[in-house]
Chain A
Amino acid sequence: MDSDKFKQKIIPLQSAMQLLAERMLGDMADAEDVVQDIFVTLWNQRSDLDKVQNLQAYCLQTVRMRCIDIIRKRKRDAFHHEQIAYLSDKEVEMKVEETASRAAMLDRLLDNLPEKQRLAIKMKYIEERDTKYIEQALQMSSNNVYTTLSRALQSLKEKIKTIKI
């Protein structure tokens, strides 16, 4: 498996792997480290990956085992270990799909907002920028930024009410 094929088949599995690792470890930074380590391992074993039937199940199981090792090292309580360890592949897949659908829904809601409100919402709540950054990026005063964000949130909440899941 060359690098292009690896990127095409393995890299998209990062979302599920990250979600599973976060759920098991309860820490985003630790999950990122675990996933990155697993990707390095998978790259070194890429010659054997062609034989794997279900790459997603293989990668998720690798994440699961690696997280269990970390949990054992942390000496967490058995209940937490048991709760997290048995998150099935289907559940992980559903969580990933749910996240993707929610993100897509937010995109549709944001598309209906004015440009400055959309950009302000994205920078504030998605990119998690501070107010000074938004002020410089949008060339607005701080009061204008707060006002813009407030109006955008109000508009979103009103539109969400019209959506039925």
Chain B
Amino acid sequence: MNNTPDINKLFEAARRREADIRRQQQLSDMIDRMAENEEPKSVPPCIPAKSRRRLWPYFSAAASVLLFSAIGLHILSHDITTPSRQSLIAETKPQLPAIVESSDSTVETGNDAVVPMRKQHTSAVLAINETTDEPTSLKSQQNKQEGDKTIIEMPVVLPDEPLLAEESATATNTDEDAESSQKSSSPVVYERTSTRLVCGSGCRPEVRHNQEDTPNFAFTNISRTGTTIGIGNGGF
């Protein structure tokens, strides 16, 4: 089969080829431009090298001044505006009652017992250890009999929370106003009502705290690190 090509198709093919050549050239130029744009360009320095060498001492001096100024400002601002860690702790730490540093760990009890209280002593009665109701439990403690006075020693457990300032203040007594303060102020507030203390003379007083009709008794000579407290002023 003989087939002669159409002249128009030949022209069309030639046009297409020319157009393709032109487009390829344009694409090649576009690729060149994109490749140029992606190449990192070296940025000339703002200050020539010769001037940099000349200005170096000034830069060094200015940097030193700025550095020391920053350090000084930091120190000043730290001292003036920001409290130290110790001061923050002291402000936030609750004020505990003064620790009684008495070697005397007992209190005399009895009808006419005199509670030895010292000015420097601050009441810090915190809690009484769990004791049984049986007198024998107290007898096991180191009770001392001195004439008509009974000395009871019993262990204490220091509480986790400190006393209130009011309580510690009312518990501070002197030798002169010991008896008056015993009646006017309640040194300690307890929730316990079942604690019983037994004196050596056979009496069986019941210690009931938080009750107004119950004679108050002051606690003193308490060692926060010790294991015993003295109880009572003869008010049983």
A residues adjacent to B (C-beta < 8 A): 2-3, 6-7, 11-12, 14-15, 18-19, 32, 35-36, 39-40, 43, 98-103, 105-107, 109, 125-128, 153, 156-157, 160-161, 163-165
Contact = CB atoms under 8 A, between A and B. Distances in A.
Contact of B13 (A40, A106, A161): A106
Among B4, B11, B19, B30: residue with most chain A CB under 10 A: B11
A48 to B, nearest CB: 16
B17 interface: yes
Interface of B: 2-5, 7, 9-20, 23-24, 27-28, 30-32, 34-35
A103 B16 contact: yes
Contacts of B10: 102-103, 105-106, 109, 160
Given A14-B23, A14-B24, A126-B14, A102 B9 contact: yes
A128 B15 contact: yes
Nearest to B17: A103
A95 B42 CA distance: 47
Nearest to A99: B13
A36 B16 contact: no
Contacts, number: 87
A35 B24 contact: no
Interface SS of chain A: helix, strand, loop or mixed? helix
A141 B75 CA distance: 95
Interface SS of chain B: helix, strand, loop or mixed? helix
A163 B11 contact: no
A125 B18 CA distance: 11
B3 A164 contact: yes
A126 B11 contact: yes
Contact of B28 (A7, A15, A157, A160): A7
A13 B30 CA distance: 16
B17 A99 contact: yes
Contacts of A127: 18
29 contacts: A3-B35, A6-B31, A7-B28, A11-B28, A12-B24, A14-B23, A15-B20, A18-B19, A18-B20, A19-B16, A35-B27, A36-B27, A39-B30, A98-B13, A100-B13, A100-B17, A102-B5, A102-B9, A102-B14, A103-B14, A103-B16, A106-B10, A106-B13, A106-B14, A126-B15, A156-B7, A157-B7, A161-B4, A165-B4
Contacts of A128: 15
